[in-house]
Amino acid sequence: MLVLEAKLKGKQNQYNSIDEAIRTALFIRNKALRHWIDHKDVGKNDLQKLCAVLAKEFDFADKLNSMARQASADRAWLAIKRFYDNCKAKKPLKKGFPRFKKRGHSVEYKTSGWQLSNDRKYISFSDGFNIGRLKLVGTRNLSFYSIQQIKRVRILKRADGYYCQFCVDVERTLTHQHNGKQVGIDLGLEFFYTDSDGKIVENPRLLRKSEKSLKRKQRLASKCKKSSSNRAHAVKKLAKKHLKVSRQRKDFAVKTARTLVQSNDLVVYEDLQVKNLVKNHHLAKSISDASWSLFTDWVDYYAKVFDTWVIAVAPHYTSQDCSVCGTRVKKSLSTRTHKCHSCGTVMHRDHNAAIMILNKGLKSTVGRTESKACGQNDLCLSGETPLSKSAE
């Protein structure tokens, strides 16, 4: 499944209609969630039936395309199902009880309510909000795919404008020159990652580099009077800067993951629980800036695309154990050099950890018969997140 994205160009009245459609979709999503909370044994079909009831009760809800209303109810059900799955799996601590949303940023259509022009450069929306015809601006050519392959169309509102995403039912595969190379990587903050061959990739620290500009824009926004046009303008500038940092971070993660997978037949990385690591308030900002989870998600995806192996191993004691003799050498996080008192090995601790991670991965492949790689089924070629992660 591919997600192709293009920017929408139109008039201000069309943008206002899009905002109204987004608010209506959010209203239906919250109503569906309230219906589930107030009644017992509510299933997905019950939420779908609720959409028709809401359309009869509220005139503005009737303006939204029927399939778009169903897609909004599906969003509520995704949150409910995730909560049920976490409860069944006995996930520790919070189970992710569904919450009402105050702000919406997207509206999703299925197979009706929209129409592409013959040259695939314009899209028209034909529901009651009268959005009309909008121009698609982007580098992705939709002419390669048939209309039947486009399963969903989503309008997104971001700080720098409005975008349209097309969910295309097609599998992406690329040829890979198998070279037999195997590599383990240790993710870190000093370096973004160090591999088992001793090569390093520098940590870009994108948020840290932009902090000075972000703080200045934040001060300007806070000084403006609330509900004033100056404040709205300052907040928009601040949001654009955050969006730029987010896009830079994703661009780095995608390119680095592709290069890593394309140049190796086996990649082993440590399965870090980032949500637990960010509880350390001294390192939380740096860990979030490194975006390890985003990087590993794209490593999994490209492993499927290039038909290679990717294995995630537990990170326990990979930084403490010696990669040569296996002796456990206790060291604090500030100690950057691994010195084994048993065999005399001296190397950077991240290099030692990368070798240990590779060894763990090779041991786990003994008798392994399952799929070659695990990863995402959806790819967002020009956006913030894959479709499966932004559906809710």
In what helix (H) or strand (E) does residue 65 lie, and over which residues does it extend?
A: none
Q: Is the pLDDT of residue 367 over 50?
A: no
pLDDT band at 139 (very low <50, low <70, confident <90, very high): confident
pLDDT band at 324 (very low <50, low <70, confident <90, very high): confident
Q: What is the pLDDT, as a whole number, of residue 390?
A: 39
Q: What is the pLDDT, as a whole number, of residue 294?
A: 95
Least confident of 149-153, 170-174, 193-197: 170-174
Mean pLDDT computed over every residue of the chain: 89
372 vs 228, more confident: 228
Delimit the domains of the chain by residue range.
2-168, 182-205+254-383
Q: What is the pLDDT, as a whole number, of residue 366?
A: 57
pTM for the whole structure:
0.86
Q: Is the pLDDT of residue 9 over 70?
A: yes
Q: Is the pLDDT of residue 327 over 50?
A: yes
pLDDT band at 379 (very low <50, low <70, confident <90, very high): very low
Q: Is the pLDDT of residue 140 over 90?
A: no
**SS3 call for 352:** helix
Q: Is the pLDDT of residue 201 over 60?
A: yes
Judge whether 390 and 12 are in contact, CB under 8 Å.
no
At 93-114, the pLDDT tens digits run 889 999 999 999 999 999 999 9
> Token digits for 201?
């990739």
In what helix (H) or strand (E) does residue 185 lie, and over which residues does it extend?
A: strand 182-187
At 27-49, the pLDDT tens digits run 999 999 999 999 989 999 999 99
pLDDT band at 388 (very low <50, low <70, confident <90, very high): very low
Q: Is the pLDDT of residue 164 over 90?
A: yes
Nearest-CA neighbor of 3 among 122, 172, 143?
172
What is the mean pLDDT of the segment spanning 231-237? 94
Instruction: List all residues 6 or more positions away from 190 whose beta carbon is below 8 Å from its beta carbon.
Output: 203, 336, 350
Pairwise CA distance, residues 354 & 183, whole Å? 8
> Token digits for 200?
């390093």
Instruction: List all residues 6 or more positions away from 253 whose beta carbon is below 8 Å from its beta carbon.
Output: 291, 294, 295, 298
Q: Is the pLDDT of residue 330 over 60?
A: yes
How many CA atoms within 13 Å lie on the side-chain side of 163?
18
**Statement: 182-205+254-383 belongs to CATH 3.30.420:** yes
In what helix (H) or strand (E) does residue 50 lie, and over which residues does it extend?
A: helix 44-57
Q: Is the pLDDT of residue 22 over 50?
A: yes
pLDDT band at 385 (very low <50, low <70, confident <90, very high): very low
Judge whether 59 and 99 are in contact, CB under 8 Å.
no
Residue type, 221: A
Least confident of 51-55, 232-236, 283-287, 383-387: 383-387
pLDDT band at 342 (very low <50, low <70, confident <90, very high): confident
Q: Is the pLDDT of residue 369 over 80?
A: no
At 53-89, the pLDDT tens digits run 999 999 999 999 999 999 999 999 999 999 999 999 9
Q: Is the pLDDT of residue 326 over 60?
A: yes
Identify the burial level of 238 via C-beta atoms within 10 angstroms of its C-beta, where 0-12 means exposed, 13-18 middle and 19 or more buried. buried
